[in-house]
């Protein structure tokens, strides 16, 4: 019987620590085609796993399909993220593969990124006939009207902005119950730009710096089990 690796429990326990309230932001590192690293903050939305396979956890996050990180991931699907829980002084570093699932109506390349070699969780989900776009829409639907508006900008994130006046004319809210033709149009734009980003860790490095002596454990996926090694902090 497959069970969740101990690091998932450790992350959930750290997240439930009262001093870590709201610590759902981690920093995701990617590499671009010229071998230059990039890193930015993203919001952890949830864990998920293939049916019957809690030993193959994935992390759910999202992006604007027009964001530079999508092109970076298309060039190199290896990613590492650092999750610092300041309250309990726990650092989780997760290394693995990422996939991007844009809308079929996304601007630019609307294909999802392939299943990387060794990405057993992604492969298992695919074999189980997982509906990636239904998941994308489900995550989109859980977003606030203000967040949804952020995927409505007429120009890609990071592109030059002529003036903040121009920006003030963009929608600041995309309500889930549209009240006008404009709301409906904005909701369609936001949903088309919204892409699902799923992350499959194959190695997790947990440094517990809130205890003395500090503890550090490296979890490595090996077939259908996770090996654990205590290491020097």
List of residues contacting a copy of itself (CB under 8 A): 22, 25, 27-31, 35-41, 76, 78-82, 84, 86, 91, 93, 95, 150, 153, 155-161, 163-164, 167-168, 170, 172, 205, 212-216, 218, 229-233
Nearest approach, Cβ of residue 131 and a copy of itself (Å): 30
Residue with tokens 């709201």: 22
Question: Minimal distance in Å, beta carbon 98 to a copy of itself?
Answer: 10
With H, G, I as helix, E, B as strand and everything else as coil, classify residue 1.
coil
Which residue, 55 or 72, has its beta carbon nearer to a copy of itself? 72
Instruction: Report, in Å, the least distance between residue 215 CB and a copy of itself.
Output: 7
Contacts of 76 (CB under 8 A, 6+ apart): 30, 31, 32, 33
Q: Which is nearer to a copy of itself, 128 or 229 (CB)?
A: 229
For the bound state, the minimum distance from the C-beta of residue 149 to a copy of itself, rounded and expressed in Å, comes to 9
Output b/e per residue, 191-230; b: 16+ Cβ within 10 A: bbbbbbbbbbbbbbbbbbebeeeeebbbbebeeeebeeee
Residue with smaller CB distance to a copy of itself, 38 or 184: 38
Evaluate the CA torsion angle 195, 199, 205, 206 in order and state its sign: positive
């Amino acid at each position: 019987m497959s069970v969740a690796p101990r690091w998932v429990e450790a992350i959930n326990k750290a997240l439930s620590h009262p001093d870590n309230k709201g610590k759902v932001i981690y920093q995701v590192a990617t590499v671009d085609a010229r071998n230059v690293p990039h890193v930015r903050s993203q919001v952890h939305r949830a864990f998920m796993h293939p049916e019957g396979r809690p030993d193959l956890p994935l992390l759910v996050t999202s992006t604007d399909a027009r964001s530079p990180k999508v092109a970076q991931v298309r060039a190199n699907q290896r990613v590492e993220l650092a999750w610092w829980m300041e309250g309990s002084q726990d650092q989780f570093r997760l290394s693995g593969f990422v996939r991007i699932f844009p809308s079929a109506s996304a601007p630019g390349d609307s294909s999802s990124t392939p299943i990387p070699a060794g990405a057993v969780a992604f492969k298992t989900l695919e074999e189980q006939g997982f509906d990636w776009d239904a998941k994308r829409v489900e995550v989109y639907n859980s977003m606030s009207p203000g967040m949804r508006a952020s995927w409505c900008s007429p120009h890609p994130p990071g592109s030059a902005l002529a003036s903040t006046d121009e920006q003030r004319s963009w929608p600041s809210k995309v309500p889930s119950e549209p009240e006008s033709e404009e709301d409906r149009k904005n909701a369609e734009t936001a949903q088309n730009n919204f892409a699902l980003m799923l992350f499959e860790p194959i190695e997790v490095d947990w440094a517990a710096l809130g205890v003395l002596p500090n503890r550090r454990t490296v979890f490595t996926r090996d077939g259908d089990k996770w090996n654990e090694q205590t290491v020097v902090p």
